[in-house]
Amino acid sequence: MANSKYEYVKLFEQPDVLLPNTWIVVRIDGRGFHKLSDRYGFVKPNDRRALDLMNAAAVEVMKELPDLCLAYGVSDEYSFAFHPSCLLFERRSAKLVTTIVSTFTAYYIYLWGTYFPDTPLQPAALPSFDGRAVMYPSSRILRDYMSWRQVDCHINNLYNTTFWTMVLQGGMSNTDAEQELKGTVSSDKNEILFKRFGINYNNEEEIFKKGSVIYRQYQLEDAQSKSGTSNAEEEEDMPSAPASRSQQDKIRKLRRKAQVVVDHVDIIKDEFWQRRPWILSGRPGKLPTEAQ
């Protein structure tokens, strides 16, 4: 019994290959996490268990996909970056996005009990994530994307910290707190925290203020004195013709050897990128020696 009569339906599959030599960022977001965080009693404004679970799932995604250079997470979202030279799944968009979304979801569900030992998942309200891929044609724009997410983290966290302190410690109603914060700038919020509650925002946990950045660890390099030139050099070095399959396999193996680390640091300024040139270059660095 041949299947040829119906096989024409395969013709309806349309290609979705992403443009070569561009950064691919896959951002995933929790679906309905506002409601979900209430249902599972997430601590306000930041639930450390929930963030650690997000990071743990993201680390597993980074380990499963050595083509990934970087991931940045905040709240219920995570951005994963593939290098412009990446040829994984022939750069098919749906394949890249769904692989990341599914792997992340699998670990999030599987590891839930580790981070929420006293709060079992409810079958009618399982967490899930959606996602999408976006292309960025240069390292400068990839960095601007990451800066955008980290600035957003800061803005939201300062707001949320102030709001929930006013409500939980100050005894204000949600509406009153919201009303008072309307139109305030950063310095206003810092002052409210400090004057009324004795809280110095700078002393808040780094993971709340900076979000989480995940990358492979090699020997750090010295930060370069000439600010800004590093990128230009990356661009210049960046190969435009695609790597051979064997070159790719070799690089993938080297990447698997590196440790995947979670950091809570500034990724807006040059220093982060200058000391870790392997992230933008896509070329593995030297593994840290034991002596270090």
Q: Does 133 bind a second copy (CB under 8 A)?
A: yes
CA distance 115 to 43: 13
Site string for a second copy, 162-191 (x = CB under 8 A): -----------------------xx-----
Q: Does 148 bind a second copy (CB under 8 A)?
A: yes
- Segment 208 to 237, residues that bind a second copy, using CB under 8 A: 228-229, 231-233, 235-236
Q: Does 242 bind a second copy (CB under 8 A)?
A: yes
Q: With respect to a second copy, which residue has the nearer C-beta, 123 or 183?
A: 123
H or E element, residue 161: helix 139-168
- Segment 247 to 266, residues that bind a second copy, using CB under 8 A: none
User: 156 burial class (0-12, 13-18, 19+ CB within 10 angstroms)?
Assistant: middle
Q: Which amino acid is at 14?
A: Q
Helix (H, G, I), strand (E, B) or coil at 160: helix
Q: Which amino acid is at 262?
A: V
Which of 78, 145, 201, 208 contacts a second copy by CB under 8 A?
145
- Provide the minimum distance between the beta carbon of 282 and a second copy in the complex, in angstroms, as a whole number: 14
- Provide the minimum distance between the beta carbon of 213 and a second copy in the complex, in angstroms, as a whole number: 16
Q: Which amino acid is at 183?
A: G
Site string for a second copy, 15-34 (x = CB under 8 A): xxx-xxxx-----x--x---
CA distance 141 to 152: 16
- Segment 70 to 129, residues that bind a second copy, using CB under 8 A: 84, 93-95, 97-99, 101-103, 105-110, 121, 123, 126-129
CA distance 157 to 159: 5
Only one of the segments 39-47, 132-140, 163-171, 270-278 lies at the binding site for a second copy (rule: CB under 8 A); that segment is: 132-140
Note the helical H segments in 182-228.
186-191, 197, 206-210
CA distance 284 to 282: 6
Q: With respect to a second copy, which residue has the nearer C-beta, 20 or 170?
A: 20
H or E element, residue 263: strand 259-263
Q: With respect to a second copy, which residue has the nearer C-beta, 3 or 292?
A: 3
Q: With respect to a second copy, which residue has the nearer C-beta, 7 or 290?
A: 7
CA distance 115 to 244: 42
Q: Does 155 bind a second copy (CB under 8 A)?
A: yes
In 3D space, the residue among 133, 125, 134, 149 whose CA is nearest the CA of residue 34 turns out to be 125
Q: With respect to a second copy, which residue has the nearer C-beta, 99 or 218?
A: 99
- Provide the minimum distance between the beta carbon of 177 and a second copy in the complex, in angstroms, as a whole number: 20
Q: Say which DSSP state 203 is in.
A: G
Helix (H, G, I), strand (E, B) or coil at 290: coil
H or E element, residue 104: helix 93-115
Q: With respect to a second copy, which residue has the nearer C-beta, 12 or 195?
A: 12
Which of 39, 44, 140, 264 contacts a second copy by CB under 8 A?
140
Which of 34, 117, 182, 241 contacts a second copy by CB under 8 A?
241
